[in-house]
Structure 1
Amino acid sequence: MRIKATIERIPGGMMIVPLLLGAIINTLFPTISKTFGSFTGALMTGSLPILAVFYVCMGATIDFKATPYIMKKGGTLLITKIGTAMIVGFIAAKFLGEGMISGGLLAGLSVLAIVAAMNDTNGGLYMALMGQFGKKEDVGAYSIMSLESGPFLSMITLGVAGLAAFPWQTLVGAILPLVIGMILGNLDKELREFLGKAVPVLVPFFAFALGAGLNLKNVWQAGVLGILLGIAVVVITGITLLLMDRLTGGNGVAGLSAASTAGNAAGVPAAVAAANAAYAPVVPSATALVASCVIVTAILVPIVTAWWAKRVGAVRS
């Protein structure tokens, strides 16, 4: 059986499929983690420890001596993605504050959901698209963009929007695993290779654990709003990323490839609420909306990127 090959035919499949599998199991058997407990329960509820290890390993792949091109490309996409989320979050905060809309078509929408959905790029999807339409240096640019990973920059964004102040210990704790990985990887090349190999392996595991914290009934309830937010992520961040990519010498393909929502972003609302209890009431709806965005953007971004690549002549024969 070619299970891995089949899954990888889906854009971001190694993340999306386990995430959906975990969500399906949790929806049909919501008490299964408590029923079996032990390692099974830990796997279904342990997304944060797995993500912590993932960030250490991901950090190890970031070379302090990255080429100027990688620094330029990755830095441009990183700053643009975060900057766009900050601007949109700041505007939304004027209307929503720390709460969420309670009725109508936009019921459940919150600044936390918007920021979490826009702040973090689906790295697997980006690298897959760049492997098809870009250069190897474009793929390498994600080593810089991976700094988006985790709740750290989402907390910063919410702070800039004037919605939350997080203790410095919490902010440091959110980025420390990534920094430790970066230090280890740059001190020892063998450690970089050793830890770097674990990055793709860990993706389906934290994706499954994140999915196991979701109930598809909530995702279904997110419904139209989840789809609309996913489209908004692609349109809003896609336009700014494309423009900045072109302004810095690119053809826009890398920019559009980064206009997605990362799977681990679904865990950001809970992580933020753990640091600031004011967000606890909006976590279920925000998580469902971000999960919807992961799926919607994973479908739309490859389509839009392929269309643009063909338009600018970046499609390989």
Structure 2
Amino acid sequence: MKIKATIERIPGGMMLVPLLLGAILNTLAPSTGEYFGSFTKGMISGTVPILAVWFFCIGASIDLRATGTVLRKSGTLVLTKIAVAWIVAIIAASFIPETGIQTGVFAGLSVLAIVSAMDMTNGGLYASLMNQYGTKEESGAFVLMSLESGPLMTMVILGSAGLASFEAHHFIGAVLPFLIGFALGNIDHDFRTFFSKATPVLIPFFGFALGNTINLGVILDTGLLGVLLGVAVIVITGIPLILADKFIGGGNGTAGVAASSAAGAAVANPVIIAQINPAFEPVAASATALVAASVIVTAILVPIITALYARHVGGHKPGVPPLPGAAADKP
């Protein structure tokens, strides 16, 4: 049976499918972890330690000797994405209460949900799209995008926008595993080879544990809002990313479209940030559900929009079958 191949046909499938299975288990049998205990409980409730190891391995996989072109491209996209999320956070905070919106169509929406959905890019999705529609350097921009992974940037945005306060050691704790991995991977390249192999392996375990923090009933309650948030992520971050890619990054905008997704790892941010700052606990559950929905929506729509945009600008790579009506690039 080709189960793995089937899952990988789904955008972000190795993350989203285990996440959905975990959410189903948590919705139908929320006490499973407590009932079995031991290693089963650890796998079900191990979001933070699994994410910590994954973050360490990402750091170890990044080569300090990245080319200037890759740094320029990825730096442009990463900084633009973070800047847009920061501006949106300041605007949203002026009309969304700290406890989130409680009634109406936008019930459950909070600044935490918006920032978590907008400040990180699905790096794996981006890399695969650029491998098909962009250049090798554009695909390599995935490297610096890994720096967005984890709650650090969300904490920075919330803190700098005056929406929350975090102790300095909390910021250090959020990035320390990444920095240690980064240091080891560049001191000894054998470490990079060794630890980088674990990065894709940990994703389904992380997704399953993360799914066990989600109640599908909450997603159903916020389903339409989750779809709207996903579309908003593409539109609000996508337009500045296209412009930044064209006028700063030296591209044709395709990389900007491909970077307009919400990262699967972002689903964990509301819960982790609520653990660091209990003030966010009342909105963490609804924010998690909204971000999960936006991840699914952007994972479906961004590849389609990227393909259409690449066809429009003639950005299809030689050797890759073009979409109907699209002409392949000249050699």
Deviations 1:56-114 (A, max 9, x none): 11011212111001100110111011001000001111112422111110111100000
Aligned partner of 1:69 in structure 2 is: 69
CA distance in 1, matches of 2:172, 2:161: 20
The root-mean-square deviation of aligned C-alpha atoms, in Å, is 1.0
Structure 1 distance, partners of 2:220, 2:127, is: 29
Which residue number in structure 1 is paired with residue 307 of structure 2?
306
Name the counterpart of 2:108.
108
Runs of at least 4 residues off by over 6 Å? none
| Matching residue's letter, 1:133 | Y
> What is residue 152 of structure 1 aligned with on the other side?
152
- The number of equivalent residue pairs is 317
Aligned residue runs from structure 1 range 111-260, under 5 A: 111-247=111-247, 248-260=249-261
In structure 2, the partner of 1:274 is 275
**Percent identity over the alignment?**
57
| Cα pair 2:55 2:178 within 8 Å, conserved | yes
- Distance (whole Å) between structure 1 residues aligned to residue 181 and residue 205 of structure 2: 19
Bigger helix fraction: 1
> What one-letter code is carried by the residue in structure 1 that aligns with 2:38?
S
Q: Deviations over 1:126-180 (max 9, x none)?
A: 1221222122322221111111111111011001221111000001100111111
Structure 2 CA distance for aligned equivalents of residues 261 and 45 of structure 1: 23
SS of corresponding position for 1:95? coil
Conserved? CA contact 2:124–2:142, under 8 Å: no
**Letter matched to residue 196 of structure 2:** G
Residues 122 and 264 in structure 2, CA contact (< 8 A), matched pair in contact too:
yes
Measured in 2, the distance between the counterparts of 1:97 and 1:218 equals 20
Cα offsets for 1:22-58 (capped at 9, x unmatched): 1112112111111111111111110110110001110
Gaps of 5+ in 1: none
Q: Give the SS at the match of 1:49.
A: helix
Aligned residue type for 1:4: K
List gaps (5 residues or longer) in structure 2: 322-331
Aligned to 1:264: 265
Greater displacement, 97-106 / 107-116: 97-106
Q: What displacement does 1:250 show?
A: 0.6
Q: Aligned AA for 1:107?
A: A
Q: More displaced, 130-139 or 43-52? A: 130-139
| DSSP-derived class of the 2:260 partner | coil
TM-score normalised by the chain length of structure 1: 0.98
